[in-house]
Amino acid sequence: MSGSGEVVGAILILIGAIFSLISAIGNVRLPDVYTRSHAASKSSTLGVLCALVGTLLYFLISDGFFSIRLILGIFFVFLTAPVAAHVICRAAYRHQVPLTEQSVQDELKDYYMENENLEQEDKAYLIEKEIELQVTEQV
Amino acid sequence: MKFTDVFLQTSTKILVFIIMTFSIFILFAGHHNPGGGFIGGLITSSALVLLYITFDLQTVRDIIPVDFNQLAAGGVIVSVLTGTASFLFHVPFLTQTFTYVDLPLLGNTELASAVIFDLGVYMTVIGTTMTIITSISEDEK
């Protein structure tokens, strides 16, 4: 058993832990659902992937044991985390969760107003919000 | 309002295969490693629930035409029959055995009778979980 496996594994797991910490800080600091989901999905996925790759390499180098389950886990996390973030954001948008006030552009809104079968009151709410925004801009 | 999400549907088509493969791996790994019939059944039913969430209840029912009530009942029957089969060899109820067989593709393989019992548990767990979930998810007006 050589020490190199431990060094490689430790470095990768440390990088993964740092990325997870950055993701947690982003979750606290960022203002609305969409930016938070951006922080939570991307950097925590990378953090988990680094930790899993570190574990895989540690067992591969020091024990000579190649774990198929870790490969499967890496692939699975890589595939599911962005889709989960997408579904959460989509649900938030469809329930008219507002964007943060600093945001300058909402490109989805026009498409959404035209192509979705909205309830009448939801549409009225969206239009009302738009008028409100324009008024605040003029002021 | 019909819910269609291309991202979710496309990734589900890939993910269901991975989850199903993993659940069968867990089912057969249960003899020497962590795993077994119960956890394998739960993983399979989570794959089916993912299908139910992504697609329609009716669509999935057309693709997988399994009556989950009958699956649960069949699992119990399989488990009980594995137990009673030990009477044929004049040994106590639920006695298990194993042997080494030369299979054509797999080589020297250990076959244990406990796997058949686990298979019964697996079927029962899938049947029960899916019966609970489908019966609370549909609402007839």
Predicted confidence (pLDDT) per residue in B90-139, tens digit: 888 888 878 787 777 777 777 788 888 999 999 999 999 999 998 888 76
User: Would the pLDDT of A26 be above 80?
Assistant: yes
**DSSP-assigned letter for residue B85:** G
Short-list A85, A20, A37, A51, CA closest to B11? A85
Distances (CA, A) of B38 to A31, B25, B27: 43, 13, 8
Distance in angstroms (rounded) separating the CA atoms of residues A11 and A114: 51
Mean pLDDT of B17-46: 90
Mean pLDDT for the stretch of residues A93-113: 79
Q: How far apart (Å, rounded) are the C-alpha atoms in residues B137 and B58?
A: 12
Share of chain A above pLDDT 90, in %: 47
d(CA B5, CA B12): 11
- Domain boundaries, position B22: 3-137
Q: What is the mean pLDDT of residues A9-36?
A: 94
Cα distance between residue B54 and residue A51, in whole Å? 30
Model confidence at A44, pLDDT cuts 50, 70, 90, reads very high
C-alpha B27 chain-centroid distance? 8
Residue B1, pLDDT score: 42
* pLDDT above 70 (res A102): yes
Report the range of poorest mean pLDDT among A70-79, B17-26, B53-62.
Answer: B53-62
The residue that leads in pLDDT, B25 or B105, is B25
Q: State yes or no: pLDDT of A1 exceeds 60.
A: no
Tell me whether B11 touches chain A (CB under 8 Å): yes
Measured between CA atoms, the residue of chain A closest to residue B54 is A87
Please give the average per-residue pLDDT across A9-38, as a whole number: 93
Tell me which chain B residue has its CA closest to the CA of residue A119: B1
Residues in chain A whose Cβ is within 8 Å of chain B: 72, 75-76, 79-80, 83, 86-87, 90, 117
Mean pLDDT of B56-66: 86
Q: Can you tell me whether residue B33 is helix, strand or coil?
A: coil
| Residue contact A79–B11, C-beta within 8 A | yes
B90: left (phi over 0), alpha (psi -120 to 50) or beta: left
3-class DSSP state of B108:
strand
Question: In chain A, what percentage of residues exceed pLDDT 70?
Answer: 91
Q: Do B8 and A87 touch (CB under 8 A)?
A: yes
Complex ipTM:
0.75
B11 chain-A contacts, CB cut-off 8 A: 79-80, 83
**pLDDT score, position B69:** 92
**pLDDT > 60? residue A3:** yes
The answer to whether residue B2 scores a pLDDT higher than 60 is no
CA distances, A64 to each of A11, A67, B44 (Å) = 19, 10, 31
Q: Work out the angle at residue B36's Cα, subtended by the Cα atoms of residues B35 and B42, and round it to the nearest 5 degrees.
A: 90
How many domains in chain B?
1
